[in-house]
Amino acid sequence: MLEIKKGNKITLEILVKDEVGNTIINLSTANDILYMIKVSKTDLNADALVSKNLADGVTANSPSTGYITVVLDPSDTESLDAATRFHALQIEYSATDIKEINLSYANAGSDGIIITQDVIRT
C-alpha cells in the first residue's frame, strides 16, 4: 500500500505490469497513459479524484523496461480526504485498445493508496 501526505508534491516511479504480473515493455507505442486516484476501483474515469496523463504529469521515461513516472503536485493532493483510496493506470494504444494495468510500486503490487494529513500549516 502506498502512503502519501495530502498537499505534498510526490513523484512515483511505477513498474507497469499486466494482469498476470508480467512487465509491460511496449510503453513507447502508447498514445496515452492515464493515472488516476479514485474512491473505488469501479469508479468511472470521469469520477476520478485526480487524473494525470502524458500531457500532464505522466512520463514514460523507460518505456522499453516498463517504468513510468507520475508527478502529483500539491494542488493534486491538497483537496483529497484523509482516507484509503485506489489508484489506477490505463494505457491507451488506440481508441479500441485500452488496458487497465495492475500497479507495482517499489516492486510491491498494490492498487491501494492511503492519503494522510500533513502537518498543520499556520
**Domain presence at residue 121:** no
**Domain presence at residue 82:** yes
Distance CA 97, CA 7 (A): 34
Beta strands in 2-119 (DSSP E): 2-5, 10-17, 32-38, 50-52, 58-62, 67-72, 84-94, 97-105, 108-109, 112-116
Q: pLDDT tens-digit profile of 4-13?
A: 888 888 898 8
What cell was used for 17?
Answer: 505490469
Using only C-alpha atoms, the chain has a radius of gyration, in whole angstroms, of 14
Domain with residue 88: its CATH number is: 2.60.40
Residue 75's domain spans which residues? 2-116
Q: Which residue positions in the chain have pLDDT lower than 50?
A: 104, 106-109, 121-122
Q: How many domains does the chain have?
A: 1
pTM for this structure?
A: 0.81
